[in-house]
Amino acid sequence: MIKKIFILINLFLSIILQLTPTSICDDIEDNNTIDVTNEIISSSTTSQSEIKTPETNSRSCVVIDRNSNTVLYGKNENSKRKMASTTKIMTAIIIIENYNLDETIEVSKKAAGTGGSRLGLKTGDKITIRDLLYGLMLCSGNDAAVALAEYAGNDIPGFAKLMNKKANALGLKDTNFETPHGLDADNHYTTAYELATLSNYALNNKTFSQIVGTKNYTVTINGSPKQLSNTNELLGNLDGVYGIKTGFTNGANRCLVTACKRNDMDIICVVLGADTKKFRTSDSIKLINYIFDNFKPVNIKEKIYKDFEKWKNENLNKVIVNKGISQNINLEIENINNSIIPIRKDLIDSINISINCSTIFEAPLPEKTTIGNIHITISENVILDYNIYNSSEIKRKSWSTYILDILKNYPNILEKNLI
């Protein structure tokens, strides 16, 4: 009898949750509040005399500079791990880039029945794709993820193909998707570094950036409003944070991707596999403050060109192009897109620019031939690598060219012999 009463109570509560359109979404993913203010204070103490890397609970972490994609901090950043709802970064960008966000769709039974963190959709609900995206990214709605996947890929496997096609296009070699929401699956994984790379790409899209940077939003389901709140505990609480996504499953543990900009530095911090939400928050704050407290933007492009010009002044007169119609070789460096790179303050003096380029060549030498490279290292670790090429073609001498050279120089040869 008691067992039957318990079942009836649970059934009644589930019906109430389904019938309340204005309630906050069913956020299983992040149901414990964290005092972010205390975490910020406890994570901001940095020694001025000695720079120490933070100790973190998360199994895998990375911080990259958005402008150069350079790794500023890494811990197992290339290890494959489950990524939970941070998966939805890929789901969102595929939808945003390819579909009309103002189109209204009808929610299927399968989407409505998806468990975990939810927007709270029911079978037959009418909602725009745009509002589904807000439900996907703010309250991490797994039901919204399936609805979007069915719309774009017909079913979850079809949408997973789109996700993996995009991952391949972005060069994410250690990433594979099976689901649009990130619920645990054996062949669903990424790395902290590749997740940061994906996030960096996604944030370049204005619509995506606007969605993940929204703290509160009202969606409309069947013409009725529903208030959503962002699960990202750092958004609006930590200086400079402007996105992007939380995550949690039993297999992945706690995950968080954070974008933060202060002054001239713009970074993405990824933590995967934290034991608790508190650790996820404190690890992220520690890493973000560590970077902004201890790194300084350096104009690496200026340093490279200065050293390269010096090298050319010292070595171009030694260049020999065997059998070339000209000895005038023009050397250039491939395009350096990222001129400013954050470098830890105590390592700036250890920046070394190594130029490796031959001075003896064999004609013909086609235009844009790679003939050397430049390595930029910090404490003997290579951080950047650029090719050196010749900007103009040098043709090989023909027999007629040799004869013309002899005739041209004949008066000088004759004069020497007469003397």
Contact (CB, 8 A) for 61 and 270: yes
CATH of the domain at 325: 2.60.410.10
Total domains in the fold of the chain: 2
Is 416 a domain residue? no
One of 43, 68, 117, 140 is an active-site residue; which one?
140
Q: Are residues 231 and 155 in the same domain?
A: yes
Is 46 a domain residue? no
- Determine the pLDDT at residue 19: 40
Is 308 a domain residue? no
Q: Are residues 288 and 331 in the same domain?
A: no
Q: Are residues 210 and 77 in the same domain?
A: yes
- Determine the pLDDT at residue 133: 98
Q: Are residues 86 and 183 in the same domain?
A: yes
- Determine the pLDDT at residue 252: 97
Q: Are residues 116 and 215 in the same domain?
A: yes
Structural domain of residue 96, as residue ranges?
21-35+51-295
Is 99 a domain residue? yes
Contact (CB, 8 A) for 364 and 396: yes
Is 25 a domain residue? yes
Q: Are residues 290 and 323 in the same domain?
A: no
- Determine the pLDDT at residue 245: 98
> Which of helix, strand or coil describes residue 72?
strand
Is 125 a domain residue? yes
Is 1 a domain residue? no
Q: Are residues 247 and 113 in the same domain?
A: yes
One of 88, 166, 226, 286 is an active-site residue; which one?
88
Tens-digit pLDDT profile for residues 363-385 = 787 888 888 999 898 887 777 88
Q: Are residues 179 and 77 in the same domain?
A: yes
CATH of the domain at 227: 3.40.710.10
Q: Are residues 106 and 240 in the same domain?
A: yes
One of 58, 60, 85, 284 is an active-site residue; which one?
85
Q: Are residues 90 and 173 in the same domain?
A: yes
56/78 Cα distance (integer angstroms): 16
- Determine the pLDDT at residue 392: 80
245/230 Cα distance (integer angstroms): 9
Q: Are residues 68 and 112 in the same domain?
A: yes
Mark the ranges of the chain whose per-residue pLDDT is less than 70: 1-49, 399-419
Domain ends where: 228, 262, 295?
295
What single string gives the DSSP state of each residue in 121-155? --TT-EEEHHHHHHHHHTS--HHHHHHHHHHHHSS
Q: Are residues 243 and 327 in the same domain?
A: no
- Whether 85 sits among the annotated catalytic residues: the reply is yes
- Determine the pLDDT at residue 410: 53
Is 363 a domain residue? yes
Query: 10 Å Cβ neighbour count for 328?
Result: 11
Domain ends where: 255, 279, 295?
295
pTM of the model: 0.82
Contact (CB, 8 A) for 97 and 148: no
The residue to which tokens 């570094």 are assigned: 193
Q: Per residue, what are the HEC states of 360-384?
A: EEECCECCCCEEEEEEEEECCEEEE
- Whether 229 sits among the annotated catalytic residues: the reply is no
- Whether 60 sits among the annotated catalytic residues: the reply is no
Tens-digit pLDDT profile for residues 68-91 = 888 999 999 999 999 999 999 999
